[in-house]
Amino acid sequence: MVSITEKDASLLIQLYQIYDQHRDALLWFLHKLAVTDYDDYKKKYPGTSKERNYFTTICGFFELSGVLVNRGILDEGLYFDLFNVRPFWEKAKQIVSGMRKDRPHIYENFELLYNKRKIWAKKRRTRL
């Protein structure tokens, strides 16, 4: 087991505070975001709409989280004990796929975080 430091705990709490400050965006993302692809997203949520802001806020949060976890700044097990990236990435992936036609690396840490969580969850199930 990895030794968790006070710094790790502090960083996790800071991330949770950011997450918690965006409840409206989180709930919209999980319960109201409904598009088939990037083109549908652009039509339904144009320009600087509230919904587009919600989308970028949530993707940005998980991108930030992904940078911290992927670079080893924050322990992935500690992160995944609190945050479940799966439902967010599964809703975002079709949109992000379309965005990548112009910006090939957009939200790549978000996707890497999702892939790490799948591995973490599988290992966790085998330990239970």
Q: What are 45-77's pLDDT values in tens digits?
A: 999 999 999 999 999 999 999 999 999 999 999
Rounded Cα–Cα distance for residues 69 and 112 (Å): 9
Domain of 24?
6-127
Residue 40: which residues within 8 A CB-CB, separation 6 or more? none
For residue 57, tell me if it sits in a domain.
Answer: yes
Confidence of residue 114 (pLDDT cuts 50, 70, 90): very high
For residue 98, tell me if it sits in a domain.
Answer: yes
Instruction: Return the pLDDT at 76.
Output: 93
Please state the domain count of the chain.
1
For residue 14, tell me if it sits in a domain.
Answer: yes
Residue 80: which residues within 8 A CB-CB, separation 6 or more? 116, 117, 120, 121
Instruction: Return the pLDDT at 3.
Output: 78
Q: What are 23-41's pLDDT values in tens digits?
A: 999 999 999 999 999 999 9
Rounded Cα–Cα distance for residues 42 and 126 (Å): 41
For residue 72, tell me if it sits in a domain.
Answer: yes
Confidence of residue 125 (pLDDT cuts 50, 70, 90): confident
For residue 1, tell me if it sits in a domain.
Answer: no
For residue 56, tell me if it sits in a domain.
Answer: yes
